[in-house]
């Protein structure tokens, strides 16, 4: 049986140490809150930068509707509507709005449906480089590129936009769809104010500035360079918080050794 010795100073000393630790913890909590504000501010600055890029582009370059540069605009379906079950494996990878994050697909958790779902919903079978956009609920507007080769399909809350890459650069399109300019279109065109949602017609009519491919890639390069700076700033801020949190266990140890 393990036994532990607990330092037991007089009650007044215990209260003094507890008070100092509570003060220190309060300051650390304040730093954590500030860190959250810093992240939001960096993201706001990044969004403003990208938004300004596309606002300027709308006045400088020809404008196209998404329908004019898309090979396919469609959405998926609910397995329940089709009498299809979710399965553990040996099925079709199933992408829902939960998986479509801003700029990236996150497959935690992975979901699968019976393979026959693809026989029923052939139009929404995914291909690498398809653009996926959330069109229902709180995550409306989050857009990412499907950058996998897995056979997959989507549900009714996700729109598939397959672009003509001879007309538009995929990264350029991705930045545009995630920009405040396009998100503004989305919230302006909600079909149901009670539960935000977009129709295929809404998306088809979104207007996008369309310079030539060389200019699109130049704009992408500038945006990526700015994003790299913002990521470095967030990493530096996270490092500062991590360093402060790393000091706290040492302070506790000192306090219980009677050295603080």
Using one digit for the tens of pLDDT, what is the confidence trace for 75-108? 999 998 999 999 987 899 999 999 999 999 999 8
As a residue count, the chain comes to 260
Instruction: Please classify residue 93 by burial: count the beta carbons closer than 10 Å to its beta carbon, then call 0-12 exposed, 13-18 middle and 19+ buried.
Output: middle
**pLDDT beyond 50 at 201:** yes
Q: State yes or no: pLDDT of 193 exceeds 50.
A: no
Mean pLDDT score, 140-150: 95
> Residue 95: enclosing H or E segment and its boundaries?
strand 92-95
Of the two residues 15 and 145, the one the predictor is more confident about is 145
Contact between residue 32 and residue 165 where contact means Cβ atoms under 8 Å apart: no
Question: Six-digit token pair at 74?
Answer: 């469609």
Tell me the pLDDT tens digit for each residue of 60-76: 999 999 999 999 999 99
The whole-number pLDDT of residue 194 equals 44
Distance between first and last Cα of the chain: 31
Do strands 92-95 and 152-154 pair parallel, antiparallel, or not at all (unpaired)? parallel
Taking alpha carbons only, the member of 6, 5, 9, 4 closest to residue 260 is: 9
Q: Summarize pLDDT for 165-177 with one digit per residue, the tens.
A: 999 999 999 999 9
Phi, psi of 121 (to 5 degrees): -115, 70
The tokens for 223 are 């945006």
pLDDT mean over 23-50: 79
Q: Which CATH architecture has domain 62-210?
A: Alpha-Beta Complex (3.90)
């Amino acid at each position: 049986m393990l036994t532990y010795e607990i330092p037991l100073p007089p009650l007044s000393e215990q209260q003094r140490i507890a008070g100092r630790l509570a003060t220190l913890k309060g300051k650390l909590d304040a730093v954590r809150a500030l860190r959250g504000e810093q992240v939001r501010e960096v993201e706001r600055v990044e969004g403003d930068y990208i938004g300004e890029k596309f606002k300027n582009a709308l006045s400088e370059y020809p404008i196209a509707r998404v329908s004019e540069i898309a090979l396919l605009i469609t959405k998926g379906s609910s397995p329940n509507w089709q009498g299809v079950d979710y399965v553990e494996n040996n099925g079709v990878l199933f992408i829902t709005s939960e998986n479509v994050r801003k700029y990236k697909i996150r497959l935690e958790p992975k979901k699968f449906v019976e393979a026959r779902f693809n026989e029923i919903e052939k139009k929404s079978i995914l291909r690498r480089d398809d653009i996926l956009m959330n069109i229902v609920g709180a995550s409306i507007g989050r857009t990412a590129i499907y950058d996998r080769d897995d056979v997959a399909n989507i549900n009714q809350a996700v729109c598939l936009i397959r672009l003509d890459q001879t007309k538009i650069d995929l990264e350029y399109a991705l930045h545009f769809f995630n920009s405040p300019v396009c998100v503004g279109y989305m919230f302006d065109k909600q079909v149901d104010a009670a539960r935000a949602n977009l129709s295929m017609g809404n998306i088809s009519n979104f207007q996008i500035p369309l310079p030539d491919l060389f200019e699109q890639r130049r704009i992408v390069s500038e945006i990526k360079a700015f994003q790299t700076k913002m990521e470095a700033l967030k990493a530096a801020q996270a490092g500062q918080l991590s360093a402060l949190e790393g000091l706290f266990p040492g302070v506790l140890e000192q306090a219980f050794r009677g050295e603080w």
